Structures are given as structure tokens and as C-alpha cells.
Amino acid sequence: MSANTILYVEDNAVNRRLVRDLLQHTTYKLIEADDGEAGIAMALEMHPNLILMDIQLPKMSGLEAIRRLRANPVTAATPIVAITSFALSGDDQKAKDAGATAYLAKPYSPRDLLAQIRKLAPEALDR
Amino acid sequence: MMAAQTLRVSRFGLLTNAGALLSVLMCYGEIAVIAALSLAGIAVANIDPHLQAALMVGFALLAVFGLAVDYRHHRNYAPMVFGATGFAVMAGTLYVSFDPRAEFIAYACLITAVFMNQHAALKLLTDQLRRRSDEIAERNKQLEAASQHKSDFLASMSHELRTPLNAILGFNEMILDQLYGPLTPEVRSPLEQIQRSGRHLLRLINNVLDLAKIEAGRMELALSDYSVQDTVESVRATLRPIAAEKGLELRTSLPADIPVARGDAGRISQCLLNLAGNSLKFTKAGQVEIGVQLVDDRLVYRVTDTGIGIAPDKIGGLFAEFNQTDPTIASEYGGTGLGLSITKKFIEMHGGRIWVESEPGRGSVFIFEIPVRA
């Protein structure tokens, strides 16, 4: 079994590096996209095991991207973690309504993020 | 005959002048002055019938001239002032005719003149007031827009502030977790301080954002059924490490038969976290208790501590923004100074109220009650 692939859609390069560093010592393989459209294209091409989707994205919002991914049979069942900006403000509900599997409020703890990733896409042990 | 006439003239003059004076007092500008002059003129005219004619014409001209000048502002009551002047002139004319039969009509004319003047003055005053209140309404609208703008600004700022904080807290946590290599104890301590300060900054930003949204009227409660037991238990679980660190007992006390409630559970636990967090902060020894009771159709939440208490004169301003009872408290105990103000607003949004009972040196009880089903 090949390593689990995780797609992180996020426009902020520093945050992308954060997750890259976080996953460096794991068996996960990280692929990145910096806007909603690119994220959808990459998801359809690479079939990631899990998608981390920032909600505030240029061109197409993360919510819209999640809706489109859910509408496509290829990605309809892929777990998606929405990364929302405003804790407790109803963004979590919007993310769930759009079809997100789970959500994480920003700023997120890398520890929590990794736990969430491991829960939704258990790490392959036989690499 | 002439002496008696002069006396009556004086009495008449007094009356007319009193009316004129009232007009002057009640309004401003040319109209009042003209009215006063015309009425005063009648009194003067009474003394010499020949002078009267000249004065009448003069005052009438003045009145017309004044009205013409004022027409733009005063067109609503111009007919009245003009009419009042006319009646006053008529009153004077009839009075100096020395005909006793004319006297009654002269008084009637005088009263009409004064009445019309007053009416004009009142109308002017009302119009002025209306204009002023329109101005104030307009100003209020501008202020509201400015306040909305401020809240929008705060909301977007808070969002912008979180993005770099995500990196600061995130990378720092990963360094602390030794993802980048082993840490020496000397380095760990300042890194932990960065983490604590970063989290404090995050709490501040969160509170400012909440407050901005509340003030902009854009804070909405996410109402749903929730378990009071679970909410209280999760608050206790969150605060337990802090209590343990200070050697304080953190207890909960609620009857088992509290029904499923309706409200914004997230906000209610935020309120309880604020209150119980405060209690832990201001208590050096003893215990903090979170209690809930059902009274009729209201839930009464009580956060009791054995802390430093609050002086009676500080209780009034306790729920105001950035109002910690003592400026030195912030340095000793930390906190954002926004927690209580936000708590109060959330409770009010639930249709409830909050108050505090405290005795300095003995402890405080923060009590809020909200409907079981908001």
C-alpha cells in the first residue's frame, strides 16, 4: 500500500510550510495547492486520501470548493477537513453544510491537526 | 379727559408691550422685533393721533419688508405675523378714535394680534425644533455608519491578526514537540513563554472580534438543544489543569434532573469558562464551584469562589469593557478585561441577566439566569 496522500489547499505559504514540516516525519505524502480552483484540479488528478481545505481562499472560497468536490463522484467520499478562521462564529456549521467531514479553527495546534489527520486517514504502517 | 386717556394708553401700551415681549422671548430674528415694534407703535400712536398714521404706515412697511427678507425661512408663518401686525394696527386705530364703541373691538383686535404673534412664534419654535431633531437624526445616522465601519474594521483586523499567529503558535509548538530536534531546558523555558503569550494574544483577539461583532449587531446565537450537565462538565474538564496547578478544588453541583435546555451551548460554556476562569485566577486558596439550579423555567448558573472578592464600589463598572477593578490586577493576574463584558452580552442575548454578590476577602458569586429554552 502506498503512502497516504494529503492535499492541503491554502494560499498562505507560511501555513503550508507549517503543515509540510509537521508531516515531514510521518509517512504521509503532502501535495499543495494555493487556491480553490487549483485545489479541485489537483484533487481530481491525484486522488488524495484526505483534503485539508482552508475556507478563506482567493478566486474560489473553500466552502465552494468543498461543495464542488462533494458533487464530483471522484472526490465525493474523500474526507475533507475544513480549516475555518473564526472559531464559534457559525463557520463550522457552514463548513459542515458544505460537506466537510470535520473542521479545525485557525489558529490550529499542529498536534491537533495531526491527530485529526491520523483519525480520518490512518497512517500506512507498511511503508 | 386727556389725563384719563393717557392712563388708559399706558395700560394699553403695557398690555401690548407684554405681548410683544413674549413674542421676542419665544422666537428670534426680525419677525419678533417687527411685531414688537408694531405693537409698541400702537401705544405711542395713542398719544398723538397725527403721529399715529405715520407710525402705522412705517411699521406696516417694516413688517412687510422684514417678512420679505425672511420669506425664505419664515414662509410658513409669514401670513400670521403679517395678520398679527394688521390686527395690531387696526386695534390702535380704533382705540385712538376715542369712540367707546370701538374700544371693545380694539381690545379684540389686540388680543387677536397677540394670539397670532404667539402662534407664529410657537410655530417658528416648533419648526426650529423639528429642524434640529432632523439634524440630530442625520448625525446619529452618520455616527452609526462610523461605528459600523469601526466594527467591520475590527472584525477584519482580528482575522488578519490570526493568520500570523497561526504560524507563530504552530511553529513554536512543533519546536517544543522537538520536531526540529532535541531541546535544551534553557531554550524550552522561553519557548514555553512564547506559547503562553501567544495564547494570551489569541484570547485578546478573539474577545475583540466577539465584541466587535456584538456591537455591529452581527453576533447571532446558534440555538440548539444542549445538555447542561455536559456543558458544565466540559468547562470543568478544561479548567481542571489550571485548578490543579494552583492547588484549588474545582467542583460542580447540579441536580441530575435538569432537563435538556435550548440555547447556544458554545457561548454558554464560553461564559462559564470566563467566570470560572476568573474565579480561579482571583482565588489563592480554597475552591471554585460551578452550580446550576432550575428555578421555574429558568436556569440559574452560579460560579462561587473563595477568592479576593470585589469591593462594593467596583461592582458597578465590573461588566464594562477593559475594566478590571484594579490596573495592577492585569499585571498580576493577566486577562483581557473583556471577558465579563462579553459574558454579559451573551447572557442578555439569551434573554437572561447576570449579577455578582461579593465580600472582599471572602469571595465572590457570579450568578446568571437564562431561560431553560432560549
B251-261 per-position pLDDT tens digit: 999 998 899 99
pLDDT at residue B31 tops 70: no
Task: Provide the pLDDT for residue B368.
Answer: 96
Q: What is the ipTM of this complex?
A: 0.89
C-alpha cell, B43: 401705544
pTM of the entire structure?
Answer: 0.61
Interface test with A, best of B156, B174, B177, B270 (most A CBs within 10 A): B174
Q: What pLDDT is recorded for position B180?
A: 93
Closest CA to B226 of B252, B256, B262: B262
Residue B322: pLDDT band with limits 50, 70, 90: low
Q: A53 phi and psi, to 5 degrees?
A: -120, 115
List C-alpha distances in Å: A49 to A36, A45, A85, A92, A114. 18, 12, 24, 22, 14
pLDDT of the residue at B78:
62
**Most confident of the ranges B106-110, B136-140, B155-159, B204-208:** B136-140
Cβ neighbors of B358 (< 8 A, separation 6 or more) are B309, B310, B312, B315, B364, B365
> What percentage of chain B reaches a pLDDT higher than 70?
63
- Res B7 pLDDT > 50: no
Task: Name the pLDDT band for B13 (thresholds 50, 70, 90).
Answer: very low
Residue A15: which of B159, B166, B173 has the nearest Cβ? B166
The pLDDT tens digits of the residues spanning B284-309 come to 999 999 999 999 999 999 999 999 99
What percent of chain B shows pLDDT beyond 90? 38
Query: What pLDDT is attached to residue B261?
Result: 94
Q: Which residues on B lie below 8 Å from A88 (Cβ)?
A: 266-267, 270
Whether the pLDDT of residue B135 is over 90: the answer is yes
| Integer Cα distance of A86 and B162 in angstroms | 9
For residue B163, list chain A residues with Cβ-Cβ distance below 8 A.
12, 15, 106
Q: What is the CA radius of gyration of chain A?
A: 13
Closest-approach residue (CA) in chain B for A10: B163
pLDDT (tens digit per residue) in B85-97: 666 666 666 665 6
Percent of chain A with pLDDT over 90: 66
Q: Does A58 touch chain B (CB under 8 A)?
A: no
A28 in reach of chain B (CB within 8 A): no
pLDDT at B366 (0 to 100): 96
Alpha-carbon distances, residue B151 vs A87, B144, B147 (angstroms): 18, 10, 6
For chain B, give the mean pLDDT: 77
Q: Which of A12, A21, A108 sits opposite B179 (nearest CB)?
A: A21
Higher-pLDDT residue of B4 and A38 is A38
Is the pLDDT assigned to residue B1 strictly greater than 50? no
